[in-house]
Amino acid sequence: MFAALPELIGTLDTDQDTLRWAARDYGGTIHHPPAAVLRPVTTADISTVVRYAHEHGLKVVPRGRGHSTGGQAQAPGGVVVDMNRLNGIHDVGPDRVVVDAGARWSEVLRATLPRGLTPPVLTDYLELTVGGTLSVGGLGGASHHHGAQTDNVLELDVVTPHGDIVSCSPDHYCELFDAVRAGRGRHGIITRATLRLVPAPDTVMWHKLHYDTVDQLAADQQHLVTTGTFDYVEGQLKIRDNRRVAELEAVTYTGVSAGHGRLDDLTFRDADTQTASYWDFVNRLADGEPLLRNAGLWDAPHPWCNLLLPSNAAVDLLRHTEHELGADLYSDFGLVLAYPLRTDRITTPRLTLPHGDIVFLIAALRYAPIGAPQIVAAMQTANDMLVAETLAAGGTLYLEPL
């Protein structure tokens, strides 16, 4: 199939182990092996293979860390482009950094924090690639101030579906710029990105506020994102030690905060407040990975479901998800992530949002044991119901394959 392919500096691998690896993602429920995996060393390698695949009618799909949960980074019978080796961090300037698309956000931060700088929006987990999250949007607790990660990109280098290598920005090839941001890798492969940077705090004041009802939690979250009082606002529902927890996380970035960070007028029952270094705060999920590995749940199926809802429908859905919480449909580690976003801050054309000034991201993060297909099926059925309710309420699906 690849006999006439021009010579590459990287490799085109077709061994069974590699194909099995490329047919797996964090979701662990969809497995489509490609015909080959390109491990490029240069952008020219990608261009060569994309051009060849285009001429031969083969699908080409880039893959970052494969942390998708629905086969988004798989290329049935085609070519998966493993971006992980293209992970250089280049110039760090006073307001921007140039990085290769295979770099992880943790690597970006290790280069920018010594200069007192950070990307304005980070995902909760930092071991995702820059290309991987720019291809879906990239939302986090600072999105109510700064939008998605895709709203904080200044320039992208892209290999187009025809194999051309093009730099694009809001002023230059803007159609391509708009097509690849949140474009799921189907409109071009991002090879390099210029990311906006802002001053980073040394420390943060991190409040975990606990609520009696999801209605109170959601009302306070909306109040905080509307007033902009805190730099970071998220929240979650979970069961821990046999107790239901409805938690709002509100964080102030010490010394560079955009808000006053006071807890006045909120209706929480109790608060747990701590000071942490900015790095420990943004890297807080790093500890979760070994815990999940020890519990055998890292490489197990993760039937996750990410939804965007109009604010008036979000509370109904949260009440529904609260009743579902528990070992059967979430395992002891699962949770429902829920926080509001301001739609006026998100301008990425392909990141489709419901109508309204405020919308909620609600993510059902479920962990199934290995070798329990009936549990996976029950979790997927529960997700199907959430999706149906979301769409009926005018919501949209985040991270879905295009």
Q: Please report, as ranges, the residues that interact with ligand FAD according to CB under 6 A.
A: 25-26, 61-68, 72-73, 83, 101, 123-125, 128-129, 131-133, 135-140, 184-185, 189-190, 399
CB of 370 to ligand FAD, least distance (A): 17
Cα(58)–Cα(55) distance, integer angstroms: 8
Cα(253)–Cα(274) distance, integer angstroms: 12
Closest Cα partner for 179 from 59, 398, 53, 348? 348
Of the two residues 78 and 266, which places its CB atom closer to ligand FAD in the complex?
78
Of the two residues 139 and 300, which places its CB atom closer to ligand FAD in the complex?
139
Of the two residues 129 and 311, which places its CB atom closer to ligand FAD in the complex?
129
CB of 131 to ligand FAD, least distance (A): 2
CB of 27 to ligand FAD, least distance (A): 9
> Dihedrals φ, ψ of 44, to 5°?
-60, -35
161 and 187 Cβ atoms separated by less than 8 Å: yes
Of the two residues 133 and 222, which places its CB atom closer to ligand FAD in the complex?
133
Of the two residues 26 and 173, which places its CB atom closer to ligand FAD in the complex?
26
CB of 334 to ligand FAD, least distance (A): 12
CB of 223 to ligand FAD, least distance (A): 22
Residue showing tokens 């999706």? 387
What HEC string does 167-206 produce?
EEECCECHHHHHHHCCCCCCCCEEEEEEEECEECCCEEEE
CB of 133 to ligand FAD, least distance (A): 4
Of the two residues 125 and 206, which places its CB atom closer to ligand FAD in the complex?
125
Residue showing tokens 């710029």? 177
Count CA atoms within 13 Å of residue 46 on its CB side. 31
325 and 336 Cβ atoms separated by less than 8 Å: yes
Coil, strand or helix at 235? strand
